[in-house]
Structure 1
Amino acid sequence: MKKIGILNSEISRVISELGHTDKIVIADAGLPIPPHVKRIDLALKEGVPSFLETVETILQEMCVQNAYVAQEMGSVSRIKLQELTATLPGVPIRVMPHEELKALTHQAKAVIRTGEFTSYANVVLEAGVIF
């Protein structure tokens, strides 16, 4: 049994296989997931696990150089965006229309679906390098 870090084998595998500029998505419960992208469904019930709890856990193991969010998050879910920004210190957060963000999910290695019920609580994380 793994002693530390992410215990979910699918998430652990996806992170370990990421190369520079590869992308993963952490999504609310409602984001459409392209059929060709790996779906890792963590949603148990409303709010479990939460979007931010999942982001924080992923960041323990993933080097992130850029994050992408929908501009609608800033107006509809402003507090969630502020919390996300605080969780990603030093990481540039690029803002785009929600339709563009959904299109970007087609490039992702995986979408991790949470139990988050906050509108537009989605982020695309782009892998950096540790050297």
Structure 2
Amino acid sequence: MLIGISKYISPELLKILMEMGHGDEIVLADANFPAASTARRLVRCDGHPIPVLLEGIMQLFPLDQYVAHPAALMERVPGDQVETPIWEEYRAIIAKHSDVAEPFEFEERFAFYERASKAYAVVATGESTQYANIILKKGVIKEG
């Protein structure tokens, strides 16, 4: 354990976050996501919900300020009536830690899978909410 780092951020996840460079992407995947078959690098955070991981990551991780939308969500499959209140949780967490006005772009399900397969890492979580997957694009840390 370290002071100032969420207890939900494992040593392996911290290492991945530090290795990532500007423009690299990380996927926080819900429990239904095919994380093991998609990931180039897989980090297991089984049992943890995505909002607590996102909160811990956002304390350490700058979002890319050079793109219109530094985060991506999987859009609902047409006709699926599932509610997505978790997206507003994500919006609030991101707003707390950045000045990004509109962080999200939406990717069709299979386009999201394809994008996730190119991400630096996929974090497999225990999140059971549908459409809870989120991709974060890393920015730069500015001195001063």
TM-score (norm 2): 0.79
Greater strand content: 1
Match of 1:43 in 2: 46
- Specify the SS of the correspondent of 1:72: coil
Does the 8 Å contact 1:19/1:127 carry over to 2? Answer: yes
> Using the alignment, how far apart are the partners of 2:58 and 2:34 within structure 1?
23
| 1:80 match | 86
Contact 2:26 2:119 in 1 (8 A): yes
Change (3 A) 1:54 1:75: farther
- Checking the alignment, whether the CA contact within 8 Å between 2:39 and 2:121 is kept in structure 1 is no
| Aligned-CA RMSD value | 2.0
Give the match's secondary structure for 1:76: coil
Superposed CA offset, 1:61-120 (max 9, x none): 111120010111895242111111111122521111111111111111111111111111
Q: 1:100 aligns with which of 89, 103, 111?
A: 111
Question: Which of 64, 68, 73 does residue 72 from structure 2 map onto?
Answer: 68
C-alpha distance in 2, partners of 1:105/1:61?
A: 21
Normalised to the residue count of structure 1, the TM-score between the two structures is: 0.86
Segments of structure 1 that go 5 or more residues without pairing to the other structure are none
What is the distance in 2 between the residues matched to 1:120 and 1:128?
24
Question: What are structure 2's unaligned runs of at least 5 residues?
Answer: 65-69
Amino acid at match of 2:108: P
Q: Distance in 2 between matches of 1:36 and 1:114?
A: 13
How far did 1:36 drift?
5.1
What number of residue pairs does the alignment pair up? Answer: 127
Q: CA deviation at 1:35?
A: 5.1
Give the counterpart of 2:120 among 102, 109, 124.
109
2:10 is aligned to 8
Q: Indicate conservation of the 8 Å contact 1:77/1:121, yes or no.
A: no
Q: Alignment identity in percent? A: 27
Q: What is the CA–CA distance in structure 2 between the aligned matches of 1:36 and 1:51, rounded to whole Å?
A: 17
Change (3 A) 1:36 1:28: closer
